Amino acid sequence: MDFDLIFKIAGIGILISILNTVLHQAGKQEQAQMLTLAGVVIVLLMVVQLINQLFTAVRTVFRIY
Amino acid sequence: MELLPFVGLGMVATVLVLLLREERPELASLLSLAAGVMILLLLMDRIATVFNLLQQLAFRAQLDLLYLNTVLRIVAIAYIAQFGSQICRDAGESAIGGKIELAGKILIMFLAVPLMLVILDSVLQLLP
């Protein structure tokens, strides 16, 4: 099992919050907003793959076809 | 000890969620969702073993496998509905969580109605 995903998500979150602060200080509010959106989309893609894995496992274990 | 990975994963994820919650609440709730999914995925092997045992017992008791499969489906619906509604509640959306629970309850009732009809039929046969 890969525990890396937890650390990956947390790392992306910390990185994005730091970059967000930098962009806000530089007065680029729109790009900070876009950065937030991109981060959420990337993390959401990873989490959706994990959820798909879980649902496939549940289908096989509980014999729901 | 087989419990240790679960406890370790949960504690590490809790600390990371606490770290992220002030700055990025949306990523914090995604992180807690990922941690929950990982714990459930780790548990799946054990759940499969338990269900295989249950199926062997049902086979030995010459029970109809249809009934056991219905029970298994109901258990799966209950687990997954509870999981989803807890995630929604954690993110502060208790209204959506309540709707997920309602959907779970209605699907369970939908699956249980044929079994209730079978019970009613057998009761009616017992009556003179």
Mind listing the pLDDT tens digit for each residue in A4-58?
A: 889 999 999 999 999 999 998 988 889 999 999 999 999 999 999 999 999 899 8
Among the partner residues A12, A16, A54, nearest to B37 by beta-carbon distance: A54
- Are B75 and A62 within 8 A, CB to CB? yes
Residue B3 has pLDDT above 60, yes or no: yes
Structural domain range at position A30: 4-61
Residue A65 has pLDDT above 60, yes or no: no
Q: Which of B2, B18, B27 best probes binding to A when mutated, by most A CB atoms within 10 angstroms?
A: B27
Residue of A nearest to B46 (CA): A61
**Over A2-17, what HEC string results?**
CCHHHHHHHHHHHHHH
Domain count, chain A: 1
Give the pLDDT confidence of B53-94 residue by residue, as tens digits: 988 998 898 888 778 888 888 988 999 999 999 999 988 899
Domain count, chain B: 2
* CA-based nearest distance B106→chain A, Å: 18
Structural domain range at position B105: 64-128
For residue B53, is it within any domain?
A: no
Residue A1 has pLDDT above 70, yes or no: no
Q: Please state the ipTM of this predicted complex.
A: 0.85
Query: What residue spans of chain B are helical by DSSP H?
Result: 4-21, 25-60, 65-90, 94-126
Do residues A13 and B27 lie in contact, with contact meaning Cβ atoms separated by under 8 Å?
yes
Banded model confidence at residue B127, pLDDT cuts 50, 70, 90: confident
For residue B119, is it within any domain?
A: yes
Other C-beta atoms within 10 Å of B34: how many? 21
